[in-house]
Homo-oligomer: A and B are copies of this chain.
Amino acid sequence: MPEHDAAATARMVEQEGCPIVEVLDHVAGKWAIGIIVAAAPGPVRFTELERAVDGISRRMLTLTLRRLERDGLLTRTVYPTVPPKVEYSLTDMACELHASLLELTSWAERHRMAIARARAAYDVAHSAAG
């Protein structure tokens, strides 16, 4: 049983919706970004995502997929075959999001070196001096 707070959920629907900070936390969360970007080209299977996202554990992949599905960003399609086959696709809502997320990962890729250097500089400055 997930047992999410039903009262809180009802309040959200009747009022103004989900708090922005919570939306962003889900949608731009540590693993969600990679998953959405990886799922954008088309239906993707569980194991493909596991390889694509890099560093994610099976557990966190499952949990994040469930949360994204609950938020209406992913659709989950089960094919009752042996072995089982499950495909994840972005909803229209998530497709709209995809471009921004791509920009984000592109930015991260371009600046990862600069960030590493900034950190090292900060660390020496704040260990030697007070």
Contact = CB atoms under 8 A, between A and B. Distances in A.
Contacts of A19: 55, 112
A104 B18 contact: no
Copies of chain A in the complex: 2
Size range of the chain A interface in the assembly:
35 or more
B17 A112 contact: yes
B30 A25 contact: yes
A30 B17 CA distance: 18
A93 B111 contact: yes
Given A2-B126, A28-B33, A72 B115 contact: yes
A101 to B, nearest CB: 8
B23 A111 contact: yes
